[in-house]
Amino acid sequence: MKIVHFTFFLIFLFQPAELSAQQQDSDTFRFTILHTNDEHSHLIPHPAIDDHPELNSVTRGGFARLAGAINQIREQKNGEDEPVLIFSGGDILGGPAFGWLPLKEGVAAELALLQAIGYDAITIGNHEFDYGPDIYAQYLIAAGYPEASEHTVILGTNTRPPSEHPLSEMGIKNYYIKELENGPKIGVLGLLGDDAINKTAHPGPVNFEDPIRSARKAVSELQEAGADIIISVNHSGVNEDRLLAREVPEIDIIVGGHSHTALYEPVIEEGTIIVQAGSYLRYLGILELEWDRKTGDVQIRNRNETPFLKPLDATVPEDEEIADMVQEYRTILNEWIADLTDGAVNDIAEPVAESSFAIRGGRWQRETAIGNYIADAMKQAGEKATGKNVDVAVQANGAIRADIVPGTEEWSEGMISFYDLVMASGLGSGDDGNPGYPLVSFYLTEAEVRNALEVSILLSEMMDNTYFLQYSGLQKMYDPNRAILFRIPFLDTPIPTSRAVLNAALVRDDGELRQLSRNGEELLHVVTDHYIAGFLPLVGEVVPNLAMELKNENGEPVELDDTIIYQNGAQLKVWQALLDFTLSHETGENGLPVIPAEYEKPQDRLKQAFTLPLWVWPAFGIFVVIAIVVFFIRRRKRG
């Protein structure tokens, strides 16, 4: 038996050297890329209410599982003398309550964990600027930058902070070269795409250059520096990644993010390999590759037993060191939440409500159950804090970050934790330094409210679901196909109609409907969040006939910051409104508030109707004129 053990020891001892020689002498070189994207501060598995430290659960994600999965793959690849590179496609911040911690000076939970796990590079995402560039710079300092860039690079190929801004001193790189032993030189760049740039909440003085032009320049310089393989780690979305592959075919591999797309197989565009791993650490992306030394070609070689996306579920063992780090950050967060809620909540996993159903949203331009729930919460909070009736409360789909999902396990069935509740609405911060966008209260005329309804449809048709608005206190019928009359050829410039809303009405507390006039001057009380309200006055600069101006109850213009709602001397945040609304429901047998059944599905507040496109009428008019002219010409000829 001792001889057998010694033989295995000799095999294990000399195998790496033998394989290393194989890698060096072979015409091909093998390496593996592991990748994640849009982690969004999901430090723990979710739903949090289902997570149990000792029992298997249906939860997904968490940094400890991520590290455990990477440990397994590294161990396997080390035995095969195969290098492993680890990248993130950006948006490591924003979303659940852990995403609030960057507001605390000296805390950089996500980045510290990714460094400890051993990530090679992380691309800047738009949500890294949720609290503005000053806080992001503070966050990088807390994570040890610029020195830490020697181990985990922050990529910003087209991100340009001013030279006098602290971000410019954080070691953010346009690109870098990773030289693999006995293998290729790998050039790595990282882009923020156009759509992500447009959705950057608070870029401040930071400028973003055109991603394709920036990519061309970076690729050219990397090739001059001798890079054999070019990898672009992007926060752009699959569509923009495909465009980049066509425009800059020298890029061999694109590791993507932003669109939250789980690519179960890579997309191949003009020979470029494109991968993305969904979002919220539901998956770890795995891409096994082989580089041909003679031709320079890179080929995928994932074996049948190696999926491109590995689920990070309860079957993955947690890394104990990373789990301990997560627990330290959880303690910090729990103490802060206890302070923010005046002791009402002392642990993020604490149940705060129960429900027999999930309150769901969706990535489409239509009414959702969760949109109704959050808008109703904002309306109630606005009325309670201001002491005045609120006619309309508004929330945008882009600010709704998750469904509200009750537990499904034996120990958690039907319960909703604080963590899972506020995950839906915890974005942003106020100038008070506390998490969450503050609620604002102002007045618009009936006509301006109608304009806001038109703007919602127009922007969501021109761009995407992010800009579609959900309402409380209002019903509307609309035809999204009427938002744009036509697009100017060659310029692709849309011509808005301002006639997508067919009718709109306020819903009074007694259920009575009051129709809104297109030209009405009566002032209506509106509540939304500070971020959304900031866009409303800007609309008139682009589409003058849809202009809006924030007013007080006397109809006098007001500045946005003067509309912030305060409660007990503090700014009232959207997540607090959601928590208060939830706690206000009638309690059930378990002593927890029960979510009313009306929120199981949409309530027909927003009804789509499909009518004849507006261009049909002028076309019909032209046809009639032509027909009349032809008639008289023929009649004259006969005469």
Token pair for 440: 């604002």
Decide which of 484 and 318 is more confident. 318
3-state secondary structure labels for all residues of 425-468: CCCCECCCCCECCEEEEEEEEHHHHHHHHHHHHHHHHHCCHHHC
The pLDDT, as a whole number, for residue 522 is 96
Nearest to 402 by CA among 564, 233, 282, 310: 282
Provide the 3-class DSSP secondary structure of residue 151. Answer: coil
Token pair for 393: 């409360």
The pLDDT, as a whole number, for residue 626 is 67
CA distance 270 to 267: 10
315 phi, psi to nearest 5 deg: -75, -10
Provide the Cα torsion 124, 125, 126, 132; round to 10°.
Answer: -40
CA distance 31 to 262: 22
The pLDDT, as a whole number, for residue 226 is 97
The pLDDT, as a whole number, for residue 327 is 98
H helix count then E strand count, the chain: 15, 29
The pLDDT, as a whole number, for residue 456 is 83
Q: At CA 229, angle to CA 228 and CA 235, rounded to 5?
A: 150
Region 293-313: mean pLDDT is 93
The domain ranges of the chain are 30-323, 350-603
pLDDT per residue as tens digits for the range 513-560: 999 998 999 999 999 999 999 888 777 776 777 889 999 999 999 999
The answer to whether residue 510 scores a pLDDT higher than 60 is yes
Give percent of the chain above pLDDT 90: 78
Nearest to 520 by CA among 454, 444, 443, 446: 446
The pLDDT, as a whole number, for residue 2 is 32
Region 222-246: mean pLDDT is 98
What amino acid is encoded at 522 in this protein? E
Least confident of 80-94, 598-612, 615-629: 615-629
Q: What share of the chain is helix, strand, coil (3-state, %, to 5)?
A: 35, 25, 40
110 phi, psi to nearest 5 deg: -60, -50
The pLDDT, as a whole number, for residue 16 is 45
The pLDDT, as a whole number, for residue 545 is 74
The pLDDT, as a whole number, for residue 493 is 63
Q: Mean pLDDT in the chain?
A: 90
* Residue 594's pLDDT band (cuts 50, 70, 90): very high
Least confident of 350-354, 466-470, 609-613: 609-613
The answer to whether residue 164 scores a pLDDT higher than 50 is yes
CA distance 534 to 539: 10
Q: Does domain 350-603 have CATH number 3.90.780.10?
A: yes
Q: Is the peptide bond before 47 cis (omega within 30 degrees of 0)?
A: yes
Token pair for 120: 């090679």
* Residue 255's pLDDT band (cuts 50, 70, 90): very high
The pLDDT, as a whole number, for residue 11 is 33
What amino acid is encoded at 372 in this protein? N
The answer to whether residue 300 scores a pLDDT higher than 70 is yes
The pLDDT, as a whole number, for residue 48 is 94
* CATH superfamily to which 30-323 belongs: Metallo-dependent phosphatases (3.60.21.10)
CA distance 288 to 457: 43
Provide the 3-class DSSP secondary structure of residue 241. Answer: helix
Alpha-helical segments (H) within 38-132:
63-79, 109-117
CA distance 88 to 575: 28
The pLDDT, as a whole number, for residue 110 is 98
The pLDDT, as a whole number, for residue 480 is 86
* Residue 232's pLDDT band (cuts 50, 70, 90): very high
The pLDDT, as a whole number, for residue 543 is 73
CA distance 633 to 256: 63
The pLDDT, as a whole number, for residue 622 is 63
Region 567-580: mean pLDDT is 96
Give the pairing type, strands 229-235 and 253-255.
parallel
Tell me the angle at which helices 574-583 and 369-386 cross, rounded to the nearest 10 degrees: 90
Q: At CA 373, angle to CA 126 and CA 580, rounded to 5?
A: 90
pLDDT per residue as tens digits for the range 372-391: 999 999 999 999 999 999 99
CA distance 337 to 348: 8
The answer to whether residues 28 and 287 touch, using CB atoms and an 8 Å cutoff, is no
Distance between alpha carbon 471 and the CA centroid of its chain, in Å? 21
Token pair for 428: 């942003």
The pLDDT, as a whole number, for residue 483 is 75
Taking the model in full, what pTM does it have? 0.88
CA distance 458 to 456: 6
